Amino acid sequence: MRKEWNLPIGQGKRYSPGYPACPEQSDQEKYFRLLDATKAIGITLTEAFMMVPEQSTSAIVIHHPECEYFAVR
């Protein structure tokens, strides 16, 4: 994405459900409802909030130069 957006190396962060900055995997359901992902691109969620087909990835991508990773505890 950095290349597509012409961002310098190190600028921008990607936050995905299930990782330290967004530890609650069930938040995936909120994203799916908000974006209507099943209708839009055909990806579905299992009861355990895993995406089908496998290896699908969702993320919130921030390109601001001052964004940082953080951990929710």
**Structure confidence by residue, pLDDT tens digits, 39-73:** 999 999 999 999 999 999 888 999 998 888 876 66
Counted domains in the chain: 1
Local confidence band at 37 (pLDDT 50, 70, 90 cut-offs): very high
Tell whether 37 is covered by a domain.
yes
Residue 54 lies in a domain: yes
In a domain, 73, yes or no: no
Query: CB atoms < 10 A from the CB of 40, how many?
Result: 9
Assigned domain for 68 exists: no
The Cα 19–Cα 14 span in angstroms is 10
What's the domain range around 21? 2-62
- Asked if residue 29 has pLDDT above 80, the reply is yes
9, part of any domain:
yes
Assigned domain for 72 exists: no
Determine, yes or no, domain membership for 16: yes
Q: Write down the pTM of the prediction.
A: 0.72
Residue 50 lies in a domain: yes
